[in-house]
A and B are shown apart, each in its own frame.
Chain A
Amino acid sequence: MNYRILYFASLRDAAGCDSETCTATSTDARELYAQLRQQHGFSFDPERLRVAVNGEFTSWDRTLVDGDEVAFLPPISGG
């Protein structure tokens, strides 16, 4: 599968880019995050993140499909 990954805030800093294309065998969001975490050294446990796919919040249980745009969102701090 090929996914478009979006990064924000400290995950963006750790990845060194605001987005990237990622090739993964898994369609599981947790496994995808684990792969990216290992690659970039992200400090966040998945429990602290929210997942968005194609511009909408979703759950960690969602099955990803080829071409999905996936964002792992660290705790927000607007306002």
Chain B
Amino acid sequence: MFQLSDSRVDVEALTRELAHAGAGACVTFDGRVRDHNDGRSVHGLAYQAYPALAQAEGEKILDEAKRQFDIIQARCVHRVGALEIGDLAVWVGVSAAHRDAAFAACRYIIDEVKARVPIWKNESYTEGDSGWLHP
């Protein structure tokens, strides 16, 4: 299940959704807002998404992970809207019988989300200006 969220991510609730009697491994990834990027001092940022397409693409990535790796559950939440330094921007959680599949699937999901899900970051800098990142 992939979600866009305009409010704080409830990591504890999401982690509970990964629970399974057969899950010997649970791997999670926190992507957090950093105070610097590309040599500049960052004050905060805002994410904008194309909601319908982001949702569909995010679900597709989780489905791919379930097919490619021997995992039990997978979840991913990406924030939209304004965030401050240290805020959780994206969260991925995977449970599996064994750790190898859980680590690999978690890595796959965050890499594909960053590469494919239509979400854009606008950074605000301590100098007062801001701008969209279009790498």
Give A44 to B135 CA distance when docked, in angstroms.
Answer: 12
Min distance, Cβ A36 to any Cβ of chain B, angstroms: 17
- Contacts A10-B132, A13-B132; is A77 near B119 (CB within 8 Å)? yes
Contact count band on A: 20 to 34
User: Tally of A-B residue pairs with Cβ under 8 A?
Assistant: 70
Give A73 to B116 CA distance when docked, in angstroms.
Answer: 11
Cross-chain contact B78 with A78 (CB below 8 angstroms): yes
Contacts of A47 in B (CB 8 A): none
Give A8 to B50 CA distance when docked, in angstroms.
Answer: 7
Cross-chain contact A55 with B52 (CB below 8 angstroms): yes
- Contacts A8-B48, A9-B122, A78-B78; is A56 near B132 (CB within 8 Å)? no
How many interface residues does B have (CB within 8 Å)? 29
Contacts of B114 in A (CB 8 A): 78-79
Cross-chain contact A76 with B118 (CB below 8 angstroms): yes
The verdict on B56 contacting chain A, using a C-beta distance below 8 Å, is yes
Cross-chain contact B31 with A77 (CB below 8 angstroms): no
Binding site for A on B (CB under 8 A): 31, 47-50, 52-54, 56-57, 78, 89-90, 110, 113-122, 131-135
Binding site for B on A (CB under 8 A): 6, 8-10, 12-13, 44, 48, 52, 55-57, 71, 73-79
